[in-house]
Structure 1
Amino acid sequence: MGTLKTVRHRRAAAALLLPVLIGTAGCGAGEKAPAGDAVYGQPLAEQFQAATDATREAGTAAFVSTLTYGAAGGDAVQRARGSQDYERGTARADLGLDAPRTFPEGTLELLRGAAPEGKQVLATADDDVYVRSGSSAWLRYTPEAVSKFGEAAGEVAGHAAGDAAPYSGTLADLVPRAIPREAPERRADGSRVYRVDLLPEVAAELLPRHLRGPGDAWGTESVGLTVKLDADGRLASAAADLAPVLAALHDQGTLVEVKRLRAAYELTAFGEPVKRPFDDDEPVEDAAEVLAPVATLKAGRCAATGGTGLGTEEIVRPVGCADRHDLRVLGQVKVDRAFDGNRDVGSGDRYGREECGRADAAAPKDWRRGGRYADGFSMQGESEVSVSVSMDGEPGSGTETTVTGSYTCYLTTS
């Protein structure tokens, strides 16, 4: 769960022996090792891993993580701002997507797939992730819920506590996976600034899941990463220019109106007290119990799409149709078509739309009375096109193109 999590190698034996060796070589009785020596005293290639350990040993920290999409109409900034308790494995963050009115609307709508509208808070506690929208109850995504919902829950699951930090899905996860090759720039305050390269497919892990595209389509141009460690060797900030990743997205026909893509991460307030993610008396619902894939709902069922924290209509909250809802299911339909020869049929969605049209025509007329639902219908699902060649030489054998798939057809509220 979460591709950004890193594996920590603590080198326990070295950690036990190092203070003894330092004390023997140059420190008198009671003399403290220089600040940051546990990091900067390591071989250059091991300093980022040591910095990750030093950051965790601070106990707590405040953080801000951003993804900035720059377009001709201004910048849209996806932001997580909160605090982390490394010892307890907990975090809490306020999430938001800010964009000027001049930002391209179609692109903004695409970005909202990972940042639903309205105030949203996300909390982590070990393997569980909690989401709350507005004043609603907390919605808990356990590993079991994530397994039930699959990739549709991946955007939330990707923030579960990891080895680098209690809030995953940021540059903090990538720093220990990079290896410094050149000595850092040393600042007057004792901090160090490193400049390293990331593989583009690794840097792409920062993107919302629905934007990542094929895993082998990121090219070979490396992504520049700037990392700053403070005087004590703790991670202070990291920034990456994701231009190579954006170029690959453009090749895939995605985010074509975005001209700049940057990621940033900053840590402050090390060791200061932080509040628990939420109080014990706050209501909590289990996502696996109150949500369901829309593809499992029968015709006539109604559901609410908001408050799931997922930014998708694949996973919904089933409700009574007399209650507030966003959609009403027309039906679950199948596509199963076969054509002679090797045909270029394109997407199978056209056939799914035909089947949904039939489900819409057969739906009870009173569903549309009163103007509750928008004109037309919506659908979601997927299909597969395959070409088979028979080699048995029997009459009628040859090449055949088949289209198979499943779709959910539904009305949306107007």
Structure 2
Amino acid sequence: MGTLKTARHRGAAVVLLLPALIGTAGCAAGDRPDAGEAVYGRPLAEQFQAATDATRAAGTAGFLSTLTYGAAGGDAVHRAEGSQDYGKGTSLAKLGLRAQPHFPEKTLELLGGPATDGEQAVATAGDDVYVRHGDSAWLKYTPEAVNELGEATGVIAAHAAGDVAPYSGTLADIVPRVIPRVKPERRADGSRVYRVSVLPEVAAEVLPRDLQSLQGDWGTDPVRLTVRLDAGGRLASAAADLGPVLARLHERDALVDVKRLRAAYELSDFGEPVKGEGPDSSGEPVVDARTTLAPLATLGKGRCATTRGTGLGTTMVVRPVDCADRHDLRVLAQVEVERTFPGKREDASAEVYGRKQCEQASAAAPEDWRRDSRYARDPALVGASSLELSTSEGVSETTVTGDYTCYLRTP
């Protein structure tokens, strides 16, 4: 993976406001134009870009970003709430996933499930992202760490500060990329409500990275986006019905129990002091993810590791630990698969053969591992595979390859 992905989609926006600010600095109070004139006085097509400038000019703001998955048994909500400083390019937020009691259990596991080791905090400072669970040390993801640890870090890297906001991966990143075509509704308090459409591939950027990766083609069905600007022209809220995005996920047999998918974003407390101190200013311990974590595929037989405290929600990248300490898994083996079949076999899977090798590795494991009550009876595997169809001189073949890590897991 390359550097941290940020939401840089525009130029030096703050400069656009300077002429208006300078021009009004010497006006008497009675002659001063409306606070929102710098936004609403512009052509309609430029108002979202101007609103982003006005929002950043406030200096700071509180934010709440939610992604709601609606199912027959209730809702599950990914929630990020915190404060951000636009000038410093920093943010501090609490993250969590909460579900109603009858939300489908398997779908909840796919979404990551509630944190089991304390509340997760995320801080950003430029291109760096920090994660902490409970009272643990801050885990720092630099661009270098992301490059070395790979795509699994994308779920955290997506929040690195961008040109739109210090906390990225929300609807705020999308608003300045949309051009309104219809005049907004003006409310009694001076705010404006816009109803616009965005491409599904753009709207899908607010999804967690593992869900984004499930769908390559998002189609062309538009996503409806409602944007509200306050009387001063600053972004107040945005909401999107992600139904078209969900439909494409259903085509890939993903989130099949989810019937409604909605994203929302709200800003508040403009100009107020940022709540809480980030890791760089608090003096609290910080550790580098590059030296603390490792891809599971690099761990040898017998090594133990935990996924707790990484913020990634995956076993692809883990924190190696001593097997006498609390851990989630113990590596059995690293296995490779390469099988070739006659004909075109698009249903062929390397995972089937990888799983057989994992079962053999489990049967050959030391007796004390297999008797250890901490581990589930059946081994698990994680890895990547590919399928290649080829034809030569009229003869077709199918080749499947895969690289897997076999491991014992704690229930």
Task: Give the TM-score category using the shorter length.
Answer: over 0.9
Change (3 A) 1:409 1:202: same
State how far apart, in whole Å, the 1-side matches of 2:273 and 2:21 are.
29
Q: Distance in 1 between matches of 2:335 and 2:34?
A: 68
1: distance between equivalents of 2:396 and 2:268?
A: 64
Specify the alignment match of 1:143 in structure 2.
143
Structure 1 unaligned segments of length 5 or more: list them. Answer: 392-396
Aligned to 2:191: 191
Q: Identity across aligned pairs (percent)?
A: 63
Change in CA separation of 1:116 and 1:29 when aligned onto 2, cut-off 3 Å:
closer
Match of 2:334 among 326, 332, 335: 332
Task: Tell me: CA distance 1:9–1:22, structure 2 relative to 1, closer, same or farther (3 Å).
Answer: same
The separation in 2 between residues aligned to 1:325 and 1:28, in whole angstroms, is 66
Aligned-pair CA distance for 1:223: 0.7
The answer for the alignment partner of 2:395 in structure 1 is 398
Matches within 5 A, 1:33-52: 33-52=33-52
* Aligned position for 1:280: 282
Q: C-alpha separation between the residues in 2 aligned to 1:239 and 1:327?
A: 40
1:342-357 correspondence runs (5 A): 342-357=344-359
1:233 alignment partner AA? G
Amino acid at match of 2:174: L
Q: What is the CA-CA distance between 1:340 and the residue it aligns to?
A: 3.0
Residue matched to 1:133: 133
In structure 2, C-alpha distance between the alignment counterparts of 1:43 and 1:343, rounded to whole Å: 57
Which residue identity lines up with residue 409 of structure 2 in the other structure?
T
Partner of 1:110: 110
One-letter code aligned to 1:106? K
User: Residue 205 of structure 1: SS of its match in structure 2?
Assistant: helix
**Maintained 8 Å contact 2:4/2:146:** no
Question: Is it true that 1:212 corresponds to 2:212 in the alignment?
Answer: yes
- State the superposition RMSD in angstroms: 2.3
1:310/1:19 Cα in 2 relative to 1: closer, same or farther (>3 Å)? closer
Unaligned runs of 5+ in 2: none
The aligned amino acid for 1:9 is: G
Cα gap change, 1:3 to 1:283, in 2 (>3 Å): closer
Are the counterparts in 2 of residues 184 and 194 from structure 1 also a CA contact under 8 Å?
yes
Supply the AA of the counterpart residue of 2:402. G
- The 2-side partners of 1:141 and 1:261 are apart by 29
Q: Secondary structure at the residue paired with 1:351?
A: helix
Tell me, in whole angstroms, the C-alpha distance in 2 between the residues paired with 1:204 and 1:262. 11
Q: 1:29 to 1:383 in 2, by over 3 A?
A: closer
Note if contact 2:215-2:252 (Cα within 8 Å) is conserved in structure 1: no
Find the aligned partners of 1:330 and 1:376 in 2 and give their Cα distance: 12
Give yes or no for the alignment of 1:314 onto 2:311: no
TM-score normalised over the length of structure 1: 0.92
Deviations 1:247-305 (A, max 9, x none): 11112211111111111100010001113323432111100001000000001111111
In the TM superposition, what is the alpha-carbon distance from 1:390 to its structure 2 partner? Answer: 2.5
Alignment-derived partner of residue 378 in structure 2: 376
8 Å Cα contact 1:6/1:176 also seen in 2? no
Q: Report the Cα distance in structure 2 between the residues aligned to 1:257 and 1:292, rounded to whole angstroms.
A: 33
**Please, what TM-score do these two structures have when normalized by structure 2?**
0.93
Task: Give the number of aligned pairs.
Answer: 406
The alpha-carbon distance between structure 1 residues 344 and 189, as it changes in their structure 2 partners (threshold 3 A), is closer
Q: CA deviation digits over 1:184-232, x for unaligned, max 9?
A: 1111211111111110110011111111245543221111111111111
| 1:296 counterpart letter in structure 2 | T
Any idea what SS the aligned residue of 1:379 has? strand
Structure 1 pair 237–4 and aligned structure 2 pair: CA distance change class (3 A): farther
The change in CA–CA distance for 1:265 and 1:325 in structure 2 (over 3 A counts) is same
Q: Give, in angstroms, the shift of residue 13 of structure 1.
A: 8.0
Residues 47-67 of structure 1: CA deviation (Å, up to 9, x unaligned):
111111111110111110001
CA distance 1:13–1:387, shift in 2 (3 Å): closer
Residues in 2 aligned to 1:252 and 1:399: alpha-carbon distance in whole angstroms:
27
- Could you say which residue in structure 2 is the equivalent of 1:394? none
Q: Which residue of 2 aligns with 1:63?
A: 63
Partners in 2 of 1:100 and 1:364 — Cα distance? 42
Distance 1:215 1:3, change over 3 A: farther
Partner of 2:305: 303
Q: Is the alpha carbon distance of 1:249 and 1:263 closer, same or farther for their aligned partners in structure 2, counting shifts above 3 Å?
A: same
| 1:356 shift after superposition | 1.2
